[in-house]
Amino acid sequence: MTDFNPSVSVLPAPLGGTLVRRVWQPGRDFDPAELLDRPTLALSERALADLEMLATGAYSPLAGFVGEADYLSIIERLRLADGTPWSLPITLPVSAEDAARLSGRVVLTHAGLPVGTLDVTERYPARKALEAREVYRTEDAAHPGVAALYAQGDVNLAGPVTLFEVPRGAFPAQHRTPAEVREVIEARGWRSTVAFQTRNPIHRAHEYLHKVALELVDGLLLHPLVGQTKGDDVPADVRMEAYETLLGHYYPAERTLLSVYPAAMRYAGPREAIVHALSRRNYGATHFIVGRDHAGVGSYYGTYDAQEIFSAFTAEELGIRILKFEHTFYCRSCHQMVSPRTCPHDSGHHLVLSGTRVREKLRAGEALPPEFTRPQVAEVLRRGYQGA
């Protein structure tokens, strides 16, 4: 084994080879005074999140909202037109009226304030039915991702973007760009990093996955999604307090990094799992955990579909190693966290709580069992739901 040399990066190359950086810099980019007479377009919460992910390089090699050739190739082939793996079309849908009035450099706004620009290079029709069938595997409007798709405009605008300023949001201390996460990983000397995506509070089954992975790698990037989610998901501020509490009591500080992932959820299951993995490569992770029903919702996807879809790519194409875990749970007879691979007992011995049941217990002020979640985390969740 060779000694670690901090001057030589061991982080994976970003997808496409270069980390995209399209955050405005004075003296390098255009003069804001040039924008005074330009048309404007108000962004939704999801479009704002996409703008940040594009501009900071989280979605490298994408440098803007995708054009028609990439759009169709992503939907039909799980790849950009040039063959690069990519599974979700990152589009900017607008009404036909807006599409007709927008050209050249467009100022993007949110909550009435300018947040960036789009240089329009294409306008093309959104194929909503095709996108729903292929990306979400359903045309059912009860699916939250499909519902959002149907509610969007019928024309997609494409072109490179510029973000004026990284919106650090409600969690500025944990809101790091891909370049900043990479800097932390390199400063700590981690030669391998496993990333974990979550939009829910961490329970003992998640903790088990983290610690099994930490036996294999140097560091854990706990990377919770804090963009737009469903209304019944646990609010981001409650989740963040739960993460900090858990890490403070049960994880080695020198081997863990809590940093937010500002993307919005699409609930696209297997398709979303691919982008979650590829974007974590851009953040500098060498490994990515995919458990049961990753990014799923309802019963639209098979339990392990999000693991099986990675077989569409070679290891070299992905550039990040996928750690596939089966369903884990507490076994009352084994007296520990287990999975079907390690436990000989039937389901009658297992403690498994659905997200719905957990929310019901919290709303009722009931205690969560310590076999399911750590007591300190349960208290954070209880206060969050009780408003205490």
The residues carrying an active-site annotation are 199-200
Q: How long, in residues, is the chain?
A: 388
Pick from 14, 5, 51, 8: which is nearest to 319 by CA? 14
297-300-306-310 Cα dihedral, nearest 10 degrees: -140
3-state secondary structure the chain: CCCCCCCCCCCCCCCCCCCCCCECCCCCCCCHHHHCCCCEEECCHHHHHHHHHHHCCCCCCCCEECCHHHHHHHHHHCECCCCCECCCCCCEEECHHHHHHCCCEEEEEECCEEEEEEECCEEEECCHHHHHHHHHCCCCCCCHHHHHHHHCCCEEEEEEEEECCCCCCCCCCCCCCHHHHHHHHHHHCCCCEEEEEECCCCCHHHHHHHHHHHCCCCEEEEEEECCCCCCCCCCHHHHHHHHHHHHHHHCCHHHEEECCECCCCCCCCHHHHHHHHHHHHHCCCCEEEECCCCCCCCCCCCCCHHHHHHHHCCHHHHCCEEEECCCCEEECCCCEEECCCCCCCCHHHEECCCHHHHHHHHHCCCCCCCCCCCHHHHHHHHHHHHCC
**CA 218, CA 210: separation in Å to the nearest integer?**
12
